[in-house]
Amino acid sequence: MISLLLVLPNEFAAFEPLPEPLERVLAGSGATVLGRANCHTLVQQAGVLAPQQVLVWLPQPMPVDQLQALRDALQGWNGVPPCAVSLVSAPLHGGQHEALVALGVQAWAVLDGLDGPALTALTARAQARWQRELALRTELESLRTRMDERKWVDRAKGLLMSARGIGEDEAFGLLRGAAMHANLRLGEVSRSVIEAAQWADAINRAGQLRMLSQRLVRVAAQLLAGIDVQRARVLRTQSTERVQQNLDHLATLELGAAGVLALGEVQSAWNGLATSLAAKPAAQGLAEIDARGEALLLAAEAMTEALEASGARRALRIVNICGRQRMRAQRLAKDALLASTLAADASHGRLLPTMNEFEAALLELERAPLSSPEIRAALVTAREEWLRLVGGVQALDSPEGRATLVRSSEALVDTFERLTGWYEHSLQVIMS
């Protein structure tokens, strides 16, 4: 015995008795009517009553707009009703049949001569077709899922192979082992690997903006002081282009509301700094350039933190810490030059805090378990260059000291660029 939701024309009130021909047909079929609905309440009632099948009864003569009302109602299921749907009505032409099939109607019959056995056969046909369509949809969805997972797995394997120089079999074994350990599908783990790498790249790029905000001010001070002017001009052009490239890349990501807002603040701060940098270097304009550089630094810092929070992966913190060291190296050199050139008290007051922050972060990176032979070697190089930079700050009153300051700050940026890239692509970061 099949349970039905009976759908009647809109003009039938819920309390009215069923038409006598319909009562007779239903009684002869042995079907159970769970409830009734009209075209306006069809989808809602089907959700509440969960019938095995929906039976639509449109008597003769069928109102002109009744079939359209039924089609409008079935649109709510987008061609995939939760149960079989059959229709009893006046004869339909070919176009109407096609439209109803597309909306999920599996079987139909004309009113003339319909009796109990005919209705039983009608609902049986509808039920068989619906079950077959359900099986086909399930199989299709499974194929689509497997194809989608295959794409994620291939991308994740390629990323791991590139990051650690391992073979395809070893990369696949790592993914499979992680999936078994976490009790997740291989595709889910692979997608997490790709997303983690994307977040790490976004944090790296946002972190670069912090460094560039300080480098550009330092270069302006360097040009004003006449220190390696030709190289400073090249570096200014390169840094300006790099800022814009990173902003353009970040704008292509799905950042969420907080990320979009933070990126807008960064863009606004950069516009202000770019305007100031376009003017000819002069002592009176250097303080304004420094202030606008600080505004870009704060905006980039806020965006980096927003990205780290959105990534929701603790290992991304190492990428952020390492990337911030690039900024601190430039900030220290910038403030030292400003203190020497303009006798700026604010810049002089930031020297010791920046040095302390750099030293603390370097110690944390040296002690972090997230490591590899190349990372450990680069940290040794960073430590040596850091000591030279400190020496440049201490010898700031001499031309040699200022030259050391500039060289060592750039050398540290290069070292921490490599370190940030290694952390970003390291297996431990990605798989965490």
pLDDT in tens, the chain (432 residues): 789 999 888 777 667 788 888 888 888 888 888 998 988 889 999 998 999 999 998 876 655 677 888 888 898 898 899 999 999 888 887 788 888 888 889 998 888 878 889 999 999 999 999 999 989 988 888 888 888 888 888 888 887 887 677 888 988 888 888 777 667 788 887 887 787 777 788 888 898 999 999 999 999 999 998 899 999 999 999 999 999 999 999 999 888 788 889 999 999 999 999 999 988 777 888 989 999 999 999 999 999 888 877 764 555 677 788 888 999 999 999 999 998 877 767 788 889 999 999 999 999 998 876 667 888 899 999 999 999 999 999 998 899 999 999 999 999 999 999 998 887 766 555 554
The answer to whether the CB of 274 falls within 8 A of the CB of 215 is no
- Give, as one character, the DSSP assignment of residue 18: P
Spatial distance between the Cα atoms of 306 and 327, rounded to a whole number of angstroms: 18
Please list, residue by residue across 76-96, b when 16 or more beta carbons sit within 10 angstroms of its beta carbon and e when fewer do.
ebeeebebbbbbbbeebeeee
Q: Find out whether 240 and 216 touch, Cβ atoms under 8 Å.
A: yes
Q: Which helix (H) or strand (E) holds 53?
A: strand 53-57
Structure tokens at 311: 């990534």
Q: In what order do the strands lie in the sheet with 53-57?
A: 32-37, 3-7, 53-57, 84-89, 107-110
pTM given for the model: 0.60
Determine which helix (DSSP H) or strand (DSSP E) holds 6, and give its type and residue range: strand 3-7
Q: Which residue has the tokens 């079935």?
A: 74
- 3-state DSSP call for residue 319? helix
Whole-angstrom Cα distance, residue 317 to residue 322?
A: 9
Handedness of CA 333, 334, 340, 346 (dihedral sign): negative
Radius of gyration of the chain (CA): 35
Scanning the structure block, which residue is given the tokens 């704060």? Answer: 298
